[in-house]
Amino acid sequence: MVYILIIIAILVILLLAFNKSAVPVFLYHQVNPISSNVSPEIFEEHLKIIKKYNMKTITISEYYNNNIDKNSMLLTFDDGYYDNFKYVFPLLKKYNMKATIFLNTLYIMDKRENEPEIKDNNTVNLEAMKKYIENGKATINQYMSWEEIKEMYDSGLIDFQAHSHKHMAIFTDTKIEGLTNKENMEAPELYLYGELEDNFPIFSKRGEYSGKAKIIKKEFFGIFKSFYEENIENKITDKDEILKKCQEFIDKNTEYFINESETEYRKRIEEDYLENKKMIEKTLGNQVKFFCWPWGHRSKETISILKDLGVVGFISTKKGTNSMRANWNMIRRIELRKYTPEKFKINLFVYLLPSFISENKKLLFILEQFHFKTGLF
């Protein structure tokens, strides 16, 4: 093991000295002291590390326009939560660093009236979707306001790009996977089912940009619930038998299930994306031409549709690094499970290395152990 560490040490030193050819892109969502695994204090430590090693933060637009050098990196934030304005923006100004935020525009209000109590993103999105189901409006003070977004954009430090209008899901199959528990249901389930209830059938779902949907008429769920109460509840206890009986009922009621057509699929994607793009450009006067996949769920077919609408770059959640000549169909990002400064530093330097190293999980583990044992890099 000692010899391996020595070899790795030499390799790391040589690569960091002579081959800083990668562009790491870090992914965040919320940054706050209450409901996030990234506190403002931890985030500031990340910025201190970036400053210490003379890294240059750039926006996604600058990356695309080749305004980069060998120390370039990106900080990105998905969704557009209020804590990005309250905590992230002041720190970016303090250290004069740049970031890109990908916005879900359905939830953004024009102007903030009061300071919100910060909540976790699952709670936030569920509250917003309840409003949307009730009256078609989902603006909520847990997201940044357009006024705040404009202030951030005008600073010259923040680029804003597309992340879909609704950030919701589609059903993809009618094979039952289980039964709902309303206490554990989240915003995508509320959007798809129309209400939070126990013992609705759970079907496979993915982000709405991932392909064609399996459309399930809302009235089916009421019919299914009646079937369940009459034939299953308090009568059958074996889980496999319950799912078998439920699937038989589903298969006998195919009139409630429709395969989305190519035309419907294209129309759905176009309407959602163009609304997302229009709202950002109307407020900021910028060019929206980069798209961040909701939940990272992507497809070649949707790439083709969005390219026809002017999108030139696609940002994923797939972990890895990017070259200075990026693959704009697949910008990879680094989302850390533990956002400690040490973990951030390790990933920053590891993902500056060529992809044959940064995408090798075993070698990554050895590099991490090397760092903890030696404190180098």
Domains defined for the chain, CATH in brackets? 1-19+353-377 (no CATH), 23-163+263-352 (3.20.20.370), 169-207+214-259 (no CATH)
CA–CA separation, 119 and 25 (whole Å): 26
The whole-chain average pLDDT of the chain stands at 90
The pLDDT of residue 12: 56
Euclidean distance between CA atoms 25 and 319, whole angstroms: 9
What is the predicted pLDDT for the residue at 353?
61
3-state SS assignment for residue 235? coil
- pLDDT bucket at 370, cuts 50 / 70 / 90: low
What is the spatial distance between Cα 241 and Cα 122, in angstroms, rounded to a whole number? 32
pLDDT of residue 19: 45
Residue ranges of E strands in the chain: 22-23, 25-28, 56-57, 72-79, 99-103, 158-162, 169-171, 178-179, 201-202, 205-207, 214-216, 257-259, 290-292, 313-319, 322-323, 331-333
pLDDT at 262: 97
Residue 3 has what pLDDT? 58
pLDDT of 365? 56
69 exposure class (CB count in 10 Å sphere: 0-12, 13-18, 19+): exposed
Q: Across residues 348-365, what is the average pLDDT?
A: 58
pLDDT band at residue 355 under the 50/70/90 scheme: very low
Q: How far is CA 61 from the centre of its chain?
A: 19
Specify the pLDDT at position 25.
Answer: 96
Q: Which residues fall within 8 angstroms of residue 138, CB to CB, at 6 or more apart?
A: 106, 107, 128, 129, 131, 132
Tens digit of each residue's pLDDT (9 = 90 or more) over 239-258: 999 999 999 999 999 999 99
CB-CB contact of 113 with 69 (8 Å): no
pLDDT tens across 59-116, in order?
A: 999 999 998 888 899 999 999 999 999 999 999 999 999 999 999 999 999 999 889 9
Q: What is the pLDDT of residue 377?
A: 47
Question: pLDDT at position 347, please?
Answer: 86
pTM: 0.89
Decide: residue 107, CB within 10 A, 0-12 exposed, 13-18 middle, 19+ buried: buried
Q: Per-residue b/e over 316-344, b at no fewer than 16 CB within 10 Å?
A: bbebbbbeeebebebbbbbbbeebeeebb
Burial per residue of 139-164, b for 16 or more beta-carbon CB atoms within 10 angstroms, e otherwise = bbbbbbbbebbeebbeeebbbbbbbb
Is pLDDT of 11 > 70?
no
- Min mean pLDDT across 115-129, 226-240, 250-264, 363-377 is at 363-377
Q: What is the pLDDT of residues 110-153, one digit of tens each?
A: 999 889 989 888 899 999 999 999 999 999 999 999 999 999 99
pLDDT at 351: 74
* Cα angle value 347/351/354 (rounded, 5°): 150
Sequence-distant contacts of 41-49: CB under 8 A, at least 24 apart:
42/339, 42/340, 42/341, 43/87, 43/88, 43/91, 43/339, 44/91, 45/341, 45/344, 46/339, 46/341, 46/344, 47/91, 47/92, 47/94, 47/95, 47/97, 48/95, 48/341, 49/341, 49/344, 49/345, 49/348
With beta carbons less than 8 A apart as the criterion, state whether 350 and 336 touch: no
Percent of the chain scored above 90 by pLDDT? Answer: 76
